[in-house]
Structure 1
């Protein structure tokens, strides 16, 4: 199952709170999505707690509900996507932020599909590599460091 959990880590020269705002506000996510999978999310869906759900439209025009399953303000956020009104198929996206002594932040992005049950999604899941996750971190860094 370890091949079904991929991650990437990088230090970003921006405070954790700045970076976290870009992640926790779904309307900002298409700016830094390295998978080019996210098209748009309505404003006003900023995540605040486990149990929150935000809706995102993919570049393929499909709406996805993203169920927050882990949340610590400024430090950790994770969600499980699903088709609107459908059960969650079991994959998870996680962001972890650890402030550095220099005012920057160590950012780890993880995609975990070890609990994915829909075999039709396996090929797409395998496509999500640590390099693609790093693409999101790199774009997130550009957005955060510009603030």
Structure 2
């Protein structure tokens, strides 16, 4: 089962609050998704609590509902995706942020498919490795470390 939980960790030179806003706002996720699976999400879906659901368009053109199952403002967010109107097949995406100072954050990204029940999704699940998770963290870091429009004169 341990191969069904994959994580990557990296320290990022950006405040936890800035990084969390990028994760909690689904409309920003396609810009830094490291596994090229997300193409769009409507604005106005910022996550605020367990039980929230946000919708994304994936690379196949299909919509996915993402059911938030863990949440701590500024520190933790996790969701289980599903086809629209269907039960989640049991895999989970988690982001954990640990502030290491005012401008440095340890970011942990985990993909957990221990509860995956859909055999047709196994190959795709196995393709999510530590390297693909780290690619998402790297791209997220690049966005978080770049000046935001409010930082510019």
TM-score interval, normalised by the smaller of the two chains? over 0.9
1:55 maps to 55
CA distances 1:112-134 after superposition (whole Å, capped 9, x unpaired) = 00000001000000000000000
1:67 maps to 67
CA–CA distance in 2 between the matches of 1:102 and 1:63?
37
* Equivalences for residues 4-15 of structure 1 within 5 A: 4-15=4-15
1:83 maps to 83
Question: Shift in Å at residue 103 of structure 1?
Answer: 2.5
Q: TM-score, normalised by structure 2?
A: 0.95
CA–CA distance in 1 between the matches of 2:78 and 2:103?
24
Contact 2:15 2:102 survives alignment (8 Å) = no
SS class of match (1:21):
helix
Unaligned runs of 5+ in 2: 148-153
SS class of match (1:143):
helix
How many aligned positions are there?
Answer: 147
CA RMSD of aligned residues (A): 0.7
1:93 maps to 93
CA–CA distance in 2 between the matches of 1:24 and 1:93?
12
Moved over 3 A (4+): none
Q: Which moved more, 1:116-125 or 1:99-108?
A: 99-108
SS class of match (2:101):
coil
Question: Shift in Å at residue 59 of structure 1?
Answer: 1.1
CA–CA distance in 2 between the matches of 1:102 and 1:14?
8
CA–CA distance in 2 between the matches of 1:31 and 1:59?
13
1:107 maps to 107
Question: Shift in Å at residue 102 of structure 1?
Answer: 5.9
2:34 maps to 34
CA–CA distance in 1 between the matches of 2:11 and 2:3?
24
CA–CA distance in 1 between the matches of 2:45 and 2:24?
9
